[in-house]
Amino acid sequence: MAERRRIVPYFLLGPGTVWLLLFFVVPLFYMGYLSLESGVVGSLGFSWNWGNYSDALSLYDTQFARSFLYSGLATAICLLVAYPLAYTIAFRAGRWRNALLFAVVAPFFTTYLIRTLAWETILSDQSPVVDALRFLGLVPENGHVLATGSAVIAGLVYNFLPFMVLPIYASLEQIDERLIEAAKDLYASSRSAFLRVTLPLSAPGIVAGTLLTFIPATGDYVNAQFLGSAGNQMIGNVIQSLYKTQLDYPAAAALSFVLMALIMVVVLIYIRFAGSESLMGEEAR
C-alpha cells in the first residue's frame, strides 16, 4: 500500500508535467539557442552572438522603460478600481454576487481585439466621452486621447481588470466576517476595522492580482498597437515587429529573454517585500 501511495502522485502529475516541460520549458531552450544566432530568416546561423543581448538592452531601453511605466501605472489604477468592486461583491452583494462576477468575466468572451477596437470608437476625438473629458479639463481643447499613452494605459486597465478583481475577491470571500465584527466590538471604527483586519487578510489576493496584472501587461502589445501612436510603443511591439516584420528572430529571442529576466527581477523584489506564502503551494492537509 505504501508503495502504491508513493507512485500515485507521480502518475497524477505525469501528463501535466510532461506537457509543460515539453511545450513550455523546452521551447524556452530553443529560444535561447535562437537568441545566440545571427542573421534574419533565410540566413540564420549559430554564432554565440551575445551581441544580441547587449543590443537588446541598448537599442530598446526607452521601450523597456515605457513598458514598465505603463504597466506599473495600469496595475496601480487597476488595484484602486478593482478593490471596491471585489469588496462589494464579497461583502455587500448577497444575491447579486454571481451576476456581478459574470459582469466581470463575461466581457472576456467577446475577444480581446474587439474590446480594444470598441475602445477605439469610445475614445475617438469626436466621441461624447472625450468631449466630457475636455469639459472636465482633463484633456486640452484640441487634444486627443487616442494615440497617446493615456489611451494605452486605459486599455491595459480595462483588459486586465478581471485578473485583479477575481483574486482579491477570492481572498476577501474567505475572510471570516466574525473577525471584522470582533474588531468592531472592540471599538474599532469601520475604517479602522478595514485597514487593520480586512486589508491585511486580503493581502494574498492583492499580491496575486497585482502580479497577474503586471506581468502580462508589461509584455502586451495589442493595446499599444491600436490605441497608441509611434511614441507609445511598448517592448511587446518591438518583439512582435522583430519577429513578424523584420524577421530578425535572434534579436527578438534575445529581447524576449531580457524582458522575462527584467520582469523576474521586479517580481522577486515585490515578493520579498510583500511576502511569498500566498503564491506557492499549500501543504497537504
Partner 1 sequence: MRWLREHAVNIVAGLVVVYMLIPIAVILVFSFNDPAGKYNFTWVGFTLSHWGNAFGIPELNSALLTSLKLALLATVISTAIGTLMAIALVRHRFHGRRAANLLIVVPMATPEIVMGASLLSFFIILGTPGLGFQTLLIAHVMFCISFVVVVVRSRLIGFDRNLEEAARDLGANSFETFRLVTLPLIMPGILGGALLAFALSIDDFVISNFNSGTTVTFPLYIYGAAQRGIPVEVNVIATILFGVTVLAMGATVWQQRRAERMSEVRPEQEAMPPVAVGAAEAA
Partner 2 sequence: MGRGALPALAAAVAALALAVGLAACGSGGGGEGGAVKLEGEPSGKLTISNWPLYIDPGKEGTVAEFEKATGIDVKYIEDVNDNAEFFGKMQPLLEQGESGGRSVFVVTDWMAKKMHDLGYLQTLDKSGIPNVEKNLVPSLRHPGFDPEREFSVPWQSGMGGLIVRTDLAPEVRSICDLFDPRYKGKVDFLSELRETVPLVMTCLGIDPEEATEADWMKAIEKVKGAVDSGQIRRFTGNDYARDLTSGDAVAVIGWSGDAVQLQADNPNIEFRMPTQGCSLWSDNMVIPVGAPNPTAAEAWMNYVYVPQNQAKIAEYVNYVTPVEGVKPIFERTEPELAESELIFPSAEFTKKCFTQAQLSEEEEQPVTRAWNAVLNG
* Closest distance of CB 154 from partner 1, Å: 10
Could you tell which of partner 2, partner 1, none binds residue 151, using a CB distance below 5 to 8 A set by kind? none
Report how far residue 186's alpha carbon sits from residue 62's, in angstroms, rounded to the nearest whole number. 52
CB of 214 to partner 2, least distance (A): 22
Q: Which of the residues 120 through 139 are near partner 2 (CB under 8 A)?
A: 120-121, 124-127
CA 199 → CA 81, 132, 162, 274, 282, distances in Å? 15, 34, 19, 13, 22
Q: Does 11 sit near partner 2 (CB under 8 A)?
A: no
What's CA 120's distance to the chain center, in Å?
21
CB 68 within 8 A of CB 258: no
Give min distance, CB of 72 to partner 2, in A: 18
Residue 229 interaction partner, one of partner 1, partner 2, none, beta carbon < 5-8 Å per kind: partner 2
Determine the Cα angle at 78 with ends 75 and 84, to 5°: 140
- Phi, psi at residue 228, to the nearest 5°? -110, 180
The three three-digit cell numbers of residue 147, written as one number: 494615440
Question: Measured from the CB atom, is 38 or 278 closer to partner 2?
Answer: 38
User: Which residues, at least 6 apart from 146, have a Cβ–Cβ distance to it below 8 Å?
Assistant: 120, 123, 124, 125, 227
Gap between the Cα atoms of 5 and 20, Å rounded: 24
Nearer to partner 1, 140 or 191 (CB): 191
**Stretch of residues binding partner 1 (CB under 8 A), selected from 47-55, 102-110, 145-153, 180-188:** 102-110
Contact with partner 1 (CB under 8 A): which of 130, 163, 248, 254? Answer: 163
Using CB under 8 A, pick the residue from 47, 54, 62, 174 that binds partner 1: 174
Cα 34 to Cα 50, 53, 235, distances in angstroms: 11, 12, 19
Tell me which residues in 214-233 interact with partner 2 (CB under 8 A): 226, 228-233
For partner 2, the binding residues (CB under 8 A) are 10, 13, 17-18, 21-22, 25-26, 29-30, 33, 40-42, 46, 59-60, 62-63, 66, 120-121, 124-127, 142, 144, 146-147, 226, 228-233, 237-238, 241-247
